[in-house]
Amino acid sequence: MRAYFYQCGIWTGTDSLWHGLGLNGRIKQARSGKGPGPFVVSLAGAGGKTSTIRRLAWEAVGRGLKVLVVTTTHMARPGAFGVFDGNAEEIRNVLERRGLAVAGRPAEKGKITFTGWELYKEACSLADLVLVEADGSRRLPLKVPRAGEPVIPDNTDMILCLNGLTSLGKRAEDCCLRLEEAVDLMKRYGRKMYEDSREQRGSGTDALELNAKHKADWIIQKEDMMTLMKHGYLLPLRAAHPGTEVLPVFNQADTPQEAALPEKCWIVWERHRGLHADILTRTDPPGYFKGWLRGMRISFIYMASGFGSRFGSNKLLVPFKGKRTLPPWA
């Protein structure tokens, strides 16, 4: 995996998501303000929460930290590191032996659910880093939360809000969870003519009824993703959790050959409190962005690449429009 983050006016490459997120500094700052205790990261939204948790967990364990993974909703039951009997002592034992514990109560369909607040608080005291999957998306790349979502623990230090860029160019009804809520946000805050990209159904008088029934048949554009991210997650969570850093994460940023590059991932966050206009498009390779996000600064890009066995070669070395996709210093 390769990560790129923007620092001091240049793009810097690193193999560490931990380093790219600046977690050493964030943890030090949190502990200086709150005292000893775990650093808690809650992940909300859609499009890669579990894979992001997995990567952060392994990097933290490699740094000698004890990592607790929990969910306040549901997540897939892990094949290893699981503690499902509701026993804090067992969580302690797993953390001591293996450095990583995934705690939850057994649920249907091969999933686990929340431990409960009492056990959660006790288990947190045993770990250095706590990673919380705080939202469900039914494996869709885009989501707008409804009332009561996401479920963020009070001791959270940082919230990452994910959306999957594979939703770009797709019909909202095919890729977005909580469709009615998404339509409501678009009516209030979205681009004025977003309906123009909807698929028309029928003609004449019958079309009015058909199009009303399928009112979310608009094609997702990057402006729509920004609207849904800002008004669905960032602003509400910042209001509900003042003092907690809430960062947007745009995951699954594939190239036009996205079918052959399924593992590529870009993560972007902004340092300003406002969030406006463009996000990264799938066709912009790292190091060749045509402009900054208006009202934002790109701080970090995270790319995950496998061995290219299905693709047939090293994906990061494949030119795009006659240019190499890696920046010149890579």
- Of the candidates 242, 54, 65, the residue with the CA atom closest to the CA atom of residue 133: 54
CA quadruple 207, 210, 213, 219: dihedral sign: negative
- 284: tokens are 């912009």
In the chain, what percentage of residues exceed pLDDT 90? 38
As a three-state string, the secondary structure of 236-286 is HHHHHCCCCEEEEEEECCCCCCCCCCCCCCCCCCCCCCCCCCCCCCCCCCC
- 96: tokens are 């001591």
Average pLDDT over residues 259-267: 33
pLDDT value at residue 146: 92
Average pLDDT over residues 242-258: 68
- What confidence tens digit (pLDDT) does each residue in 71-98 have? 999 988 888 888 887 789 999 999 999 9
Average pLDDT over residues 312-318: 64
- What confidence tens digit (pLDDT) does each residue in 28-44 have? 988 888 888 899 999 99
- For the ranges 77-81, 230-234, 254-258, 261-265, which has the lowest average pLDDT? 261-265
The mean pLDDT value of the chain amounts to: 75
Q: Is the pLDDT of residue 144 over 70?
A: yes
Q: Which residues pair with 247 in a beta bridge?
A: 160
**287 falls in which pLDDT band (50, 70, 90)?**
very low
- For the ranges 94-98, 99-103, 280-284, which has the lowest average pLDDT? 280-284
Q: Is the pLDDT of residue 289 over 90?
A: no
**314 falls in which pLDDT band (50, 70, 90)?**
low
The CA distance from 300 to 2, in Å, is 11
pLDDT value at residue 14: 66
- For the ranges 102-116, 191-205, 224-238, 248-262, which has the lowest average pLDDT? 248-262
pLDDT value at residue 169: 86
Residue type for position 108 = E
- For the ranges 118-122, 307-311, 315-319, which has the lowest average pLDDT? 307-311
Q: Is the pLDDT of residue 303 over 60?
A: no
Q: Is the pLDDT of residue 260 over 50?
A: no
pLDDT value at residue 117: 95
- What confidence tens digit (pLDDT) does each residue in 184-240 have? 999 999 887 666 555 555 555 454 455 555 554 788 888 888 899 999 999 999 999
Q: Is the pLDDT of residue 154 over 80?
A: yes
pLDDT value at residue 201: 52
- 268: tokens are 């972007």
The CA distance from 216 to 179, in Å, is 7
pLDDT value at residue 280: 31
Q: How many residues does the chain have?
A: 330
Q: Does a cis peptide bond (omega within 30 degrees of 0) precede residue 150?
A: yes
Q: What is the dihedral of CA 97, 98, 100, 103, to 10 degrees?
A: -60
Model-wide pTM > 0.85: no
pLDDT value at residue 93: 94
**310 falls in which pLDDT band (50, 70, 90)?**
low
